[in-house]
Structure 1
Amino acid sequence: MKQLRNNVIRAGLGALYFSGAHHLLRPLLSGVGAIFMLHHVRPAREAAFQPNRHLEVTPEFLRATLCHLRSRDIDIVSMDELHERLVQGRFDRRFAAFTLDDGYRDNLDYALPVLREFDAPLAVYVASDFAEGTGRLWWAALEAVIAKTEQVDVRVGHSALRLDATTPAAKQATFDRLHDWLRALPGEHDLAREIEALCTTYDVDMEALCRSLCLSWAEVKSFAADPLVTIGAHSVSHCNLAKLAEDVAAQEIATSRARIEQALQRPVLHLAYPYGDREAAGMREFGLAATAGFKTAVTTRPGMLFADNAAHMTALPRVSLNGNYQDARILPVLTSGAATAMWNGFRRIAAA
């Protein structure tokens, strides 16, 4: 089903490009700017089974995106400047910001050198447990479990299942099924229990995986010393805030910020909601971020920026640079606003 959805999206992006419709729609839909969302930036991997491929782009595609923005005379700005332009209504030039979620080491190793070539600022949102080396990157752990076995035995509800993992296609189907099950569990403790059980059964060390992928506090501090870099908060444990009691969700946000501020000895003014979709960040979470005093908070809801977003600074949309669609031809479509407008049913603001 997810492969079908990817194929449909790819076909839609291609249709917008080859028809030239994005040129006609750009004046209506491109807004005043965009916030680009990334996770990993690293060289392409060869493995046939890569269920989290959508979370990574190559340095070459990032460079192509920056070249495209420069060719359209779009300013690349920090999140502080983006906030200022929205508040002040300074829209004489279009602008874009680059944001990277979770705090992966490849952001330092591969993304920063490319962004430096263009003197382009970036914001990196760090989940503090990841920097501690104790985080639960359950989607990466699930990939590691399925990659190393030919069948997965798991109890889902009252049913004991044996899922096929003999081929890349079977592994992908098993990943999709278990990923959706884990995300749908009622609480974060349920997710933790189930992924820890799978990791124990299939000998995957989740903390070692976290340490191998994520920046340590020393690396975050080194990263933050670069004048192009802003470090933002991304909760303590990368939890679904909407599933938590309000006081617990507020504590996740506050503690994450406090840990980062203690490590860096500077204020943390920007937040990214973990997962960031409608099931993980809504009006309550937007209010918590505003009450906590964040200048901006970003979602994963797709959308361009418009003047009206100035009234919703803790519910900002983003444009995903998705590893499944690394074709430079789609970049004019993304920056035209046509793709996100179609996804949103042509609503400019989706902050409810």
Structure 2
Amino acid sequence: MYGLELRRIIEYCRSHKNIYCYGAGLYGKIVCAFLYLNDICIDGFLISCLETEDSMVLNKKVMSIDETLIKGDGAGVLICVNNKVRQELINKLVALRWDDYLEIDDELINEMDNCIDYEKVAGLNRNNRVLLYHRVFNLQNDIWRLAVSPEEFERQIVYLKKHYDIVPLDELEFGGHDNQIAITFDDGYIDNYIYALPIIEKYQVPVTIFVATGNIGTECEFWWDEIEGLISNTEDNKEIHLEDYVLTLNGFENKKRACYLVREKILTLDYKQRRKFISALKEELRVEGESRAQNRTVDADELRQLDRSNWVTIGGHTVTHTRLTSQTEAEQRWEIFESKRILEKIIGHQIFCFSYPFGGVDDYDETTIELALEAGYKNIIAVGQRYKLGTQAKYCVPRIVVQNTGEDHRKGHPMMKSLFIG
């Protein structure tokens, strides 16, 4: 049975001829799903600034708040954004002299979320989507949240194959509504070969693996894993001195926080600057930082075996896995072209897929896109979509990052929420 506030929201919606969600992001989608399960279908999503006229979310039209559509009799508005920006939206409604609205705060969103069986609302979102994995491994301290256990990965693949049309990345029609899923991996960790490949071949699902080439043929870890290893193996109560503050390494949580702060500090450094910083960190902490075999990249032979699989496509992911927007055009060119050259030399044929390192909206720009196209890449994907209009939009296809979903299957498959929200 719902609490008083949720019942009040349901009654409000049923008392209005039309209902609109002001906010088309995470909160708006959760509200839409909750109402759908209570036999209430919203009439659309409202936003303050409309980028394109044909925007759709959950098969509902996205409209500008300035449109006259909501100004007729019987329309109600649910404000579905987080606390930080809620007042801004209220002010917008006040300026429009619209006073028939209901605020839905963070606590109510969480309450709604806990009530939703996302498998029952799956039909609301038939958008084609791209999933992003990194690792398939039972990682003890997964502070970067990159790993999915082999057991969980197999459960997810079984679920995806049952409910979606899994297609190769180059066959996915992004923006379509055919319930298609493309599966990708970033970085090229060894566990992609050891643990992911057998499951991929067992269930015959196509995947694209984007490989950073800098550590191929070495035992070296990726630089973020190197940082984690140094800090995790440091004695408690030691300190790291950064420019603006001192970090005390005392206990797991403080060390985890230090890892994230150090990562943020060196994210924009180029390869040489980053190596210099990590060397100084080793000296300061007096830790050798031996490479761990579980964190290495696939070697050349393993890469060739991945490529020989009928279900695997290899893609580029730069050499040093550096934020490309922090580099000069010449440096970006080298990262993109050289990694492509190395991969093609190893596997013996051309590659046409590329993903930006990190893939956030600040991690690539127009120059990056132009260089990737010049290098011969045709399918170029991101994580966050920086450009949503024009020709560049097709070269920054967003992805849903997949992580361990746990064992709780009481309300449908745990992965369903990520797919619904995405």
1:300/1:325 CA distance change after superposition, 3 Å: farther
Q: Please name the residue that 2:255 is paired with.
A: 171
Secondary structure of the residue aligned to 2:395 is: coil
Cα distance in 2 for partners of 1:63, 1:129 equals 29
Secondary structure of the residue aligned to 1:232 is: strand
Alignment of 1:335 onto 2:335:
no
CA contact (8 A) 2:385 2:397 kept: no
Alignment of 1:78 onto 2:161:
no
Secondary structure of the residue aligned to 2:191 is: helix
Deviation at 1:64, TM superposition (A): 2.2
1:187/1:127 CA distance change after superposition, 3 Å: closer
Cα distance in 1 for partners of 2:143, 2:310 equals 34
1:134/1:175 CA distance change after superposition, 3 Å: same
Q: Please name the residue that 2:155 is paired with.
A: 64
1:333/1:104 CA distance change after superposition, 3 Å: same
Moved more, 277-286 or 240-249: 277-286
1:51 corresponds to which of 127, 131, 143 = 143
Q: Please name the residue that 1:147 is paired with.
A: 232
CA contact (8 A) 2:369 2:392 kept: no
Alignment of 1:19 onto 2:116:
yes
Alignment of 1:276 onto 2:359:
yes
Please, which runs of 5 or more residues in structure 2 have no aligned partner?
1-105
Moved more, 277-286 or 236-245: 277-286
Q: Please name the residue that 2:276 is paired with.
A: 193
Cα distance in 1 for partners of 2:109, 2:195 equals 30
Cα distance in 1 for partners of 2:322, 2:171 equals 28
Deviations 1:55-104 (A, max 9, x none): 001122222222222332x211222322xx45xx9x58421111111111
Alignment of 1:315 onto 2:396:
yes
Deviations 1:282-335 (A, max 9, x none): 2322222223221111112279xx9x9997332111011024767553322222
| Paired-residue identity, % | 21
1:324/1:65 CA distance change after superposition, 3 Å: closer
CA contact (8 A) 1:309 1:316 kept: no
1:202 corresponds to which of 287, 306, 312 = 287
Deviation at 1:228, TM superposition (A): 0.8
User: What TM-score do you get using the length of structure 1 for normalisation?
Assistant: 0.77
Corresponding residue pairs, total? 309
Cα distance in 2 for partners of 1:219, 1:50 equals 24
CA contact (8 A) 2:216 2:298 kept: yes
Q: Please name the residue that 1:40 is paired with.
A: 135
1:324/1:148 CA distance change after superposition, 3 Å: farther
CA-based RMSD: 3.2
2:217 corresponds to which of 116, 132, 155 = 132
Q: Which has the higher helix share?
A: 1
1:258 corresponds to which of 335, 338, 341 = 341
Alignment of 1:105 onto 2:196:
no
Please, which runs of 5 or more residues in structure 1 have no aligned partner?
1-8, 341-352
Secondary structure of the residue aligned to 1:129 is: coil
Q: Please name the residue that 1:3 is paired with.
A: none
User: What TM-score do you get using the length of structure 2 for normalisation?
Assistant: 0.65
